[in-house]
Amino acid sequence: MPYATLPDRGCLLLRGDDTLPFLQGLVSNDVLRLPQAGLIYTAMLTPQGKFLHDFFLLWQGDGVLVDVEKSRMAELQQRLLKYRLRSKVTIEALDEAHGVTVVWGEPDSEVMASLFHDPRIPALGWRLIGEHAKALAWCRQQSIAPSSADAYDLHRLTLGVPEGGRDMIPEKSFLLPFGMEYLHGVDFKKGCYVGQEVTARSKHLGQIRKHIFQVEALDGTLPASGTPLHTGDTLVGELLSVHGAVGLAMLQAEAVEKAQALSQDIRCNQQRVKIRSPEWLTFS
């Protein structure tokens, strides 16, 4: 069971009497259950329902830690400050001593029960959010083997789980084609938030013609993110994040089903690839 520090993740800290109701009106998940859940996954959208940021919220008793993509952390902080108005909330960017460590694999002891499972799917493992020194000391105390962020990224892709700015395009992507509902990042019962109306309408009208697929090269490695995939002369989608021979793609579901029913090859740069829906994704 390995652990790795994720250098591309940073932390914001929100504190104040209005922290939970402030977040509740901005994000796609039900923040009011955070004191009971401990850790939730959610996203922030444009008024048109398009992706801006995805992040994790960790309940701290006197505040909320936000586990977010480090390269876009300042952007998220400024966006939250814009919405704050008269809400009693402070929004602080924490320094490099704070971040995210992940542990995955089969647990060696019951001690893992004291940690928070990744709320997307249990197979992703556990997230330790906060002070790096404390997380690393705990991992060493439990004799958990060190690994790398690169190894964790491969683990993520083998499970078919998309990740924020690596797979979704800010101000362009919608949540539902990326399976955010099934990754427990959207709550359709929580009430209004920015972008809620478009997200709910897409859900109830069934307007999801593309969705996330896992891709595996049958020979060699996959090309770069953004490379198109075809069946014959028909464009069916494009690659998202990749790691060696495995990756993710956003594809037209009907075209993929037709190609598979007719035993037609799906190719990426003329290279044959194997396509399948992630096991956690239940719509077709």
**Residue ranges matching CATH 3.30.1360.120 in the chain:** 2-167
Residue 284 pLDDT > 70, yes or no? Answer: no
Q: pLDDT per residue over 11-53, tens digit each?
A: 999 999 999 999 999 999 999 999 999 999 999 999 999 999 9
Q: pLDDT per residue over 44-95, tens digit each?
A: 999 999 999 999 999 998 899 999 999 999 999 999 999 999 999 999 999 9
The predicted pLDDT at position 204 comes to 84
Confidence of residue 186 (pLDDT cuts 50, 70, 90): very high
Q: Mapped to the 3 state alphabet, what secondary structure does the chain carry?
A: CEEEECCCEEEEEEECCCHHHHHHCCECCCHHHHHHHCEEEEEEECCCCEEEEEEEEEECCCCEEEEEEHHHHHHHHHHHHHHHCCCCCEEEECCCCEEEEEECCCCCCHHHHHCEECCCCHHHCEEEEEEHHHHHHHHHHCCCEECCHHHHHHHHHHCCCCCHHHHCCCCCCECHHHCCCCCCCCCCCCCCCCCHHHHHHHHHHCCCCEEEEEEEECCCCCCCCCCEEEECCEEEEEEEEEECCEEEEEEEHHHHHHHHHCCCCEEECCEEEEEECCCCCCCC
Q: pLDDT per residue over 249-276, tens digit each?
A: 999 999 998 988 888 999 998 899 999 9
**Residue ranges matching CATH 2.40.30 in the chain:** 209-284
Q: Which CATH number fits domain 2-167: 3.30.1360.120, 1.10.10.10, 1.10.238.10, 3.40.50.300?
A: 3.30.1360.120
Residue 162 pLDDT > 70, yes or no? Answer: yes
Q: What percent of the chain has pLDDT over 70?
A: 97
What's the whole-number mean pLDDT along residues 98-123? 86
Mean pLDDT of the chain, nearest integer: 93
Give the residue, 119 or 202, on which the prediction is more confident.
119
The predicted pLDDT at position 106 comes to 82
CATH class for domain 209-284? mainly beta
The predicted pLDDT at position 207 comes to 67
Q: What percent of the chain has pLDDT over 90?
A: 82
The predicted pLDDT at position 280 comes to 96
* pTM strictly above 0.85: yes
Residue 113 pLDDT > 90, yes or no? Answer: no
